Structure 1
């Protein structure tokens, strides 16, 4: 077995002869390290479901993004402007891409919603951010090129909101609601690949990060996860049911984490409004 140890060395010297021996002190700190790891896990995971929490989700997504859009891709601001038919709320000018070196990338280090993300100059020296030359751009797949061509797959962001959950909380109490959330988290986790991320954003909202998917793959995944959630959930001898609405967004460099999540969230509400309340409960 492996142990965590703290190792301290001291030289024992003689005034005339110089160093005489090395005194090594080894302390078993396995319990201390286990406690530290437990604290770190609690800080990054949801206490109820055990899934990565909102902060951890944003950290994992941020690690895949830089602020320089890939060649041929619109910037995040351009994308949102098109969606809103004008300047998006809270949008700001994006620096001229030509001002950046071809292989230099300024990273969003989680400065917060609306925070400045474009550093001054090609090296990002304005914010102390050095270029990271080995960054692989995250790009969104083209809808008409899903099945062939390099770069046809991307990082899908599936935003999931449960349908009918509030009524379960209101009728049967938070104990039943918590049991439903735990079971939904289990079903979502069972329905994705090992490398995918299922996170609880808060309340009855979940987010799935699935890399290497085309548009058809993402749609199929959303359908599978929705069908996994539909079956009744038994809590204290009673069966309750929830549905789920999914919005599919795509992460690509040039977008911030918040813009990625907002895009998937908006698509989720469009999908939710397209179905009647009864259809939503039935999945």
Structure 2
């Protein structure tokens, strides 16, 4: 069958403003989609209301627009997709791939939180739904940036949650259903989600859905080697002065800084970036702060 046209996406969670790490993921996915002549979509992963910040999603979309990146199709919001997730969960129950679990975190503490079998001492009125991972399940895939990745899902992850005990949908199920529904061919995202990919491939196979190609970008870390979102350096990028942050993200993607136009509109800078972009130069390892980020200073003037 013919290869479907490239369709990529950027899917932030509305838990705060975009910082350099999230901008790097947006820019990397946008560049790869545009270089392939494909489409780039935006999906808001608003699955966890207790962690969401009011107005964060709208602010993220405004920031993306200020950086010259807008979705080629209407933005998807996951909080409107409950019926699709419910239908997928029912299919997994029907096939025996899902089960209700009454285990609490304390029940699983003795096994470091990994669920291998139900050990709950009592039934709960609000059980979680889990995916049944067969014993000795090891899954491997080829990542465009990180290379060959293998995970013993049964040992390292165990039976994972599809719907939480509080009723909210789990990320693993939602992302698989929505990637398929949107026809996503290439998932480009941060390497912090690398270990989630085997679970998602298992779900794709159980649901009979296509598996997209994966590319996991390097994380941006602070001077202490911590993921940016965990440090004070995770301050918002400045949509009123986007070029410094854009140059920082470009350099974190392993690209030649001098390849970008020295001046001009954000649209012209992005076109210059697209012409100069070398996917093979993207590094695998986390990237330390760049010249545009000094210690905990915000990028730009925000």
**Same-fold call, TM cutoff 0.5:** no
The TM-score, its normalising length taken from structure 2, stands at 0.21
The TM-score, its normalising length taken from structure 1, stands at 0.22
Higher strand share: 1
